[in-house]
Chains A and B, each alone.
Chain A
Amino acid sequence: MPSKTSFIKAGINGGILRNDIKSFGWLGAAYLLALLLSFPLTILMIYSQEQQRVNANDLLNQGLQLADHYLPLFQFNSELQLILFLTVPILTGLLLFRYLQSRKAADMIHSLPVRRETLYNTHILAGIILLFVPIIITALTSWALVLGLGIEGVPFKAMMMWLGVALLFNLLLFICTVAVGVLTGISTVQGALTYILLLFPTGFMVLLLDNLNTWLFGFPSGFYEQSLNFSPLTRLVEIYSNPLSGTEVAVYLLIIAAIYLLGIWFYRRRRIEMTGNAIAFEALHPVFKYGVAFCTMLLGGSYFSSQYSLGWTYFGYFLGAFLGYYLSVILINKTWQVFNRQVARGFAAYVLIIVVALVGLNYDVLGYEKRIPSLANVETVYMDYSFHRLINDPEQQDYYSDQYRRTPKMIYMGPDNIGRIHQLHQAIIANRALEKKQNSTNNTYNNRYVCLAYQLKNGNVVYRSYYIPQDQYAAWFKPIYESQEHKRLLYDILNIAPEQADFIQINANFVGRNVKIGSPALVKEAVQALQRDAQTRTYEEITNDSSWADIEILLSSGKRISLAWNKGDTVFEDYLRRINQLNNSRIMVEDITSALVGKTATPSTPATRVITTKEDGTQYREMEESGEYLKITDPQQLEICLKVSTFSYWQEPIYTIMFLLNNGNVVSGAFTSETIPEFVKAHFGQ
């Protein structure tokens, strides 16, 4: 019975291993040197800088600053490190398996008394040694520096995380290169194909989603885009801002194991005589040919559809597929003479299948576009501007958002609203022919995303996403928006008891005044007033979210609620008037020197900005002198303008208004078609 050691002996060949290390040890040494430059040396450099700062008596917040400077190093924020991680594992794979791609070397190595599995395992072990040893030494050196220099705020865990992620990605990229090497017979193809394959998971999905978006009305590409970023290359670059989760680590480990086994499977079946061919397995030639054609087809379609009409999209599909197909045939056959009947027939078959599929999609053969879950099966429904809050884990929040109460996900559970959203959805589907056209015309002021996720009673989830002009569906949105359920989801103030609030601060917009309320009775009254306003807010007020002030409420739990005092909130306004703080809570006519109203020159310009620079003050005076604008100084008219001018992005600004404040600042807003005051209309002759 074979013992464990004999198994290891069968798996690894010492001679081959020593030879690999001897031949390619320089690569490991160079890697180590570069890593040491990118990491421990940077720590030393930051440290010497810090020492100078400390000497300059800048002792305040020292601990925090130290951690802030050193921690990013452990979080893959070094460009040199990323470049190394994205290239060295692949280079290692190319060099160690170079022998497979050279006829002489392949013959020699495979005539040796070493089994293919043994060769494969041994070269992989050599690669792991060449990659891992430098990384481990780098981590130990860095940690020794952290300890030796007494740097605070860098936890041991951070170092271990760095080490773990670095090892994981090096192994993943290396093993991918190895497996691709077994499939190909040319080193350059191996390198190119490895990078393509590593980018494939993201690139292909982006292209596929982009194209399905064109073809399937309601296809929730945003949903899939958020949940798919498995391409190791893009993922590695992103790690600094978005650390790996445990699930991701597990998935990557599984992928590594799968690729390793796949590599062995193919190596056993590899014909050494195929060395020098782009794809070393004849059975994979059609996969390669049609795979490339499909991807380049999607690429062509995406490129042309982003700018032009549907005809150009078709052209992009054809051009992409044609180029991809013929280029891969040229690569496989190693000849330019591919324009014969047999190859053309293969391409024609492909085109035919794609045409049938596109026609099918266009006529919605699968019934995807019209499919809507039956109301009886729906348990809850999510509706928001994106899928972001549905997908993203609320646990992963930063320090800043930790201070605030978490806003709930927009999940509707009440049967009334589920029914209303269902009706809205039906209305959108009924209009799909029209909406498909409008999608391409992109009216940015009016259009919004409606992202839906039906949680069904059988556990399934149905996702849809639409880009529609909201005002055309106002009749459906209005009852939803005015429902108390929607308001509780939208306004967190409705989810607290007035007694929970400790303190309120009102910061008036545009002017530097604020009001602080700490007396329990007054705070309670204020919260009640804000709650009443929120409860009675109309659809129009909700969508036209122009406000007087920002309000911060500190709760007894230590958390905060942030909300706006909307211009239509009369209960709160009455309250402020009663406690004699109205003037301090909002911009007043007394703050304003004058205002100028003019037709919005370019409707696409965003409606509001606070203009604070002197140049804009000068510009105001120039506009004033030009005489093209209506100048307002009458206090009553100014008050009307303050009240109705909007800062909403949903509606198209017809007139722009600029207020010149006494303090020299200029504030600009806009009138939409519904809010133009009579005297403005009269002046401009409407």
Chain B
Amino acid sequence: MIEIAYVSKRFADLEALRDVSLSVHKGSVYGLVGSNGAGKTTLLKLLAGIYWPDNGIVKIDETPVFENVAIKERTVFIPDHIYYFGNYTIADMARFYQQIYPLWNEERFSFLAQVFEIDVNRRVRTLSKGMQRQVAFWLAFAIMPDVMILDEPLDGLDPVMRQKVKNLIVQEVAQREMTVIISSHNLFEMEDICDYIGILHEGRMLIQRDLDDLKADVHKLQAAFANGMPAEFLATMEPLSYEQRGSIHILIMRGNHQEIMNRLQSFKPLIVDILPLTLEEIFIHEMGDKGYAIKNIIY
């Protein structure tokens, strides 16, 4: 659905993106994670057809996005700084989008009024920042987009609204196979919504993974042995990381769950536990050498 390949973008003397590639399948959610200035916003604006790349390809549905009305009619972009026309009420903005986006769904717009619970006759610019963001989602969902591009979308929303919005996104993805690309500086927040995660740092894509694969593939084990750690244990297990806390040995391992367990059992441990891994831990270990850096990138 979304394909970005070898994209580079310079701003005057700053290289914002360099050789970035990613792809998002139809009906999935891609999380773009990175610290401030990593190039997330630039990448999303390229995808929204606002910028054009110096190099590389930015495609949705296998056609370039830039100046492509047919694609943009099915795409909605919620930027980190949202713009509303001066003195416009929510209803005015709705009329405007209705005239611009052919897939606009008036019923959907009315239905969402119950979710967001804001008076449609309020002037948008007089609303609080969080409410303005809610309005953006409200309008965006009524456009009935096939592709949603969200730049730090959950910032400024209270936890309840955050969950509501996430639910709405998940619903749309499930029901209509909407495709979503969503940026955040918070990996943790992406965990429950994204199918894919890409980490962008200083304009380069450090790593991207399918979260389901990751979670199935990387395991955190706790083990204890009667007579201390067997001599061949570490060499055999080949853990991504290893730590000893008293008599407890903690390993993070890649591989098939059952196969790892079988190998571990051969050393006859006293106890074995498989613990849940946070996304952050997975990425730190996945990235190996670069792992030390990611601690500073993602918080």
Residues of chain A whose beta carbon lies under 8 Å from any beta carbon of chain B:
13-16, 18-19, 22-23, 102-108, 110-116, 271-273, 282
- List 11 A–B pairs whose Cβ atoms lie within 8 Å, in order of A's numbering: A14-B99, A18-B99, A103-B81, A104-B79, A104-B81, A107-B45, A108-B83, A111-B48, A111-B75, A116-B67, A272-B45
Q: Nearest chain-B residue to A99 (Cβ)?
A: B83
**Contact, CB under 8 Å: B51 / A273:** yes
Bitwise interface map of B from 65 to 78 toward A, beta carbon under 8 Å scored 1, else 0: 00101111101010
B100 in complex: contacting residue of A103, A114, A282, CB < 8 Å: A114
A residues less than 8 Å from B77 (CB atoms): 107, 111
**Contact, CB under 8 Å: B69 / A114:** yes
B206 in the interface (beta carbon within 8 A): no
Instruction: Tally chain B residues at the interface, Cβ within 8 Å.
Output: 28
B234 in the interface (beta carbon within 8 A): no
A residues less than 8 Å from B100 (CB atoms): 13, 15-16, 112-114
**Contact, CB under 8 Å: B50 / A111:** yes
A23–B11 Cα distance when bound, in Å, is 33
**Contact, CB under 8 Å: B69 / A107:** no
Distance in Å: Cβ of B105 to nearest Cβ of chain A: 16
Interface contacts beyond A111-B72, A113-B100: sample of 20 additional A-B pairs, CB < 8 Å, sorted by A: A22-B92, A103-B81, A104-B81, A104-B83, A105-B83, A106-B50, A107-B45, A107-B79, A108-B79, A108-B83, A111-B50, A111-B77, A113-B69, A113-B71, A113-B73, A115-B69, A271-B52, A272-B50, A272-B51, A282-B12
**Contact, CB under 8 Å: B83 / A107:** yes
Distance in Å: Cβ of A120 to nearest Cβ of chain B: 12
B residues less than 8 Å from A107 (CB atoms): 45, 48, 50, 77, 79, 81, 83
**Contact, CB under 8 Å: A110 / B85:** no
Distance in Å: Cβ of A101 to nearest Cβ of chain B: 13
Distance in Å: Cβ of B104 to nearest Cβ of chain A: 10
A273 in complex: contacting residue of B11, B49, B75, CB < 8 Å: B11
B242 in the interface (beta carbon within 8 A): no
A residues less than 8 Å from B287 (CB atoms): none
B225 in the interface (beta carbon within 8 A): no
B96 in the interface (beta carbon within 8 A): yes
Distance in Å: Cβ of B245 to nearest Cβ of chain A: 50
A674–B67 Cα distance when bound, in Å, is 84
B residues less than 8 Å from A103 (CB atoms): 81
**Contact, CB under 8 Å: B79 / A112:** no
A14–B96 Cα distance when bound, in Å, is 10
**Contact, CB under 8 Å: A113 / B82:** no
B116 in the interface (beta carbon within 8 A): no
A113 in complex: contacting residue of B83, B86, B96, B101, CB < 8 Å: B101
A residues less than 8 Å from B86 (CB atoms): 23
A residues less than 8 Å from B92 (CB atoms): 22
**Contact, CB under 8 Å: A15 / B69:** no
Q: Nearest chain-B residue to A117 (Cβ)?
A: B67
A115–B69 Cα distance when bound, in Å, is 7
Bitwise interface map of B from 54 to 73 toward A, beta carbon under 8 Å scored 1, else 0: 00000000000001011111
In order of increasing CB-CB distance, the 7 nearest A-B pairs are A15-B99, A113-B72, A104-B83, A108-B83, A113-B73, A111-B77, A111-B48
Q: Nearest chain-B residue to A102 (Cβ)?
A: B83
Q: Which of A13, A16, A22, A116 counts the most chain B CB atoms within 10 A?
A: A22
B49 in complex: contacting residue of A18, A102, A111, CB < 8 Å: A111
B residues less than 8 Å from A14 (CB atoms): 99
A13–B100 Cα distance when bound, in Å, is 8
Distance in Å: Cβ of A115 to nearest Cβ of chain B: 5
A residues less than 8 Å from B99 (CB atoms): 14-15, 18-19
A110 in complex: contacting residue of B12, B50, B75, B101, CB < 8 Å: B50
Distance in Å: Cβ of B267 to nearest Cβ of chain A: 58
A112–B83 Cα distance when bound, in Å, is 12
Q: Which of B81-118 contact A (CB under 8 A)?
A: 81-83, 85-86, 92, 96, 98-101
A residues less than 8 Å from B12 (CB atoms): 282
Distance in Å: Cβ of B138 to nearest Cβ of chain A: 16
B residues less than 8 Å from A22 (CB atoms): 92
Q: Nearest chain-A residue to B45 (Cβ)?
A: A107
B residues less than 8 Å from A13 (CB atoms): 100
A276–B281 Cα distance when bound, in Å, is 41
A408–B148 Cα distance when bound, in Å, is 78
A residues less than 8 Å from B85 (CB atoms): 19, 23
A102–B48 Cα distance when bound, in Å, is 18
A106–B79 Cα distance when bound, in Å, is 11
A414–B75 Cα distance when bound, in Å, is 80
B residues less than 8 Å from A271 (CB atoms): 51-52
A528–B48 Cα distance when bound, in Å, is 91
A28–B96 Cα distance when bound, in Å, is 21
A residues less than 8 Å from B50 (CB atoms): 106-107, 110-111, 272
A residues less than 8 Å from B49 (CB atoms): 110-111
B residues less than 8 Å from A272 (CB atoms): 45, 50-51
B residues less than 8 Å from A110 (CB atoms): 49-50
Q: Which of B14-67 contact A (CB under 8 A)?
A: 45, 48-52, 67
Distance in Å: Cβ of A47 to nearest Cβ of chain B: 41
A residues less than 8 Å from B48 (CB atoms): 107, 111
Query: Known interface pairs A23-B85, A271-B51. Does A112 touch B72 (Cβ–Cβ under 8 Å)?
Result: yes
Distance in Å: Cβ of B184 to nearest Cβ of chain A: 19
Distance in Å: Cβ of B142 to nearest Cβ of chain A: 15
A273–B77 Cα distance when bound, in Å, is 16
Q: Nearest chain-A residue to B67 (Cβ)?
A: A115
A683–B211 Cα distance when bound, in Å, is 120
Distance in Å: Cβ of B182 to nearest Cβ of chain A: 16
A285–B77 Cα distance when bound, in Å, is 32
A102–B82 Cα distance when bound, in Å, is 12
Q: Nearest chain-A residue to B79 (Cβ)?
A: A107
B residues less than 8 Å from A23 (CB atoms): 85-86
Distance in Å: Cβ of B144 to nearest Cβ of chain A: 13
A22–B85 Cα distance when bound, in Å, is 11
A272–B77 Cα distance when bound, in Å, is 15
A111–B52 Cα distance when bound, in Å, is 12
A residues less than 8 Å from B69 (CB atoms): 113-115
A residues less than 8 Å from B101 (CB atoms): 113
A residues less than 8 Å from B96 (CB atoms): 15, 19
B residues less than 8 Å from A16 (CB atoms): 100
A107–B96 Cα distance when bound, in Å, is 16
Q: Nearest chain-A residue to B78 (Cβ)?
A: A111
A272–B83 Cα distance when bound, in Å, is 15
Distance in Å: Cβ of B49 to nearest Cβ of chain A: 7
A107–B149 Cα distance when bound, in Å, is 13
Q: Nearest chain-A residue to B70 (Cβ)?
A: A113
A491–B101 Cα distance when bound, in Å, is 78
Q: Which of B179-215 contact A (CB under 8 A)?
A: none
A114–B48 Cα distance when bound, in Å, is 12
A106–B81 Cα distance when bound, in Å, is 11
A498–B51 Cα distance when bound, in Å, is 83
Q: Nearest chain-A residue to B11 (Cβ)?
A: A273
A108–B81 Cα distance when bound, in Å, is 9
A629–B82 Cα distance when bound, in Å, is 89
Q: Which of A13, A107, A110, A116 counts the most chain B CB atoms within 10 A?
A: A107
Distance in Å: Cβ of A106 to nearest Cβ of chain B: 8
A116–B52 Cα distance when bound, in Å, is 13
Distance in Å: Cβ of A554 to nearest Cβ of chain B: 71
Distance in Å: Cβ of A64 to nearest Cβ of chain B: 53
Distance in Å: Cβ of A347 to nearest Cβ of chain B: 21
A residues less than 8 Å from B81 (CB atoms): 103-104, 107
A658–B276 Cα distance when bound, in Å, is 119
Distance in Å: Cβ of B88 to nearest Cβ of chain A: 8
A residues less than 8 Å from B71 (CB atoms): 113
Q: Nearest chain-B residue to A271 (Cβ)?
A: B51
Distance in Å: Cβ of B139 to nearest Cβ of chain A: 11
Q: Nearest chain-B residue to A268 (Cβ)?
A: B67
A272–B52 Cα distance when bound, in Å, is 9
Distance in Å: Cβ of A248 to nearest Cβ of chain B: 38
A356–B193 Cα distance when bound, in Å, is 69
A107–B82 Cα distance when bound, in Å, is 9
A107–B78 Cα distance when bound, in Å, is 10
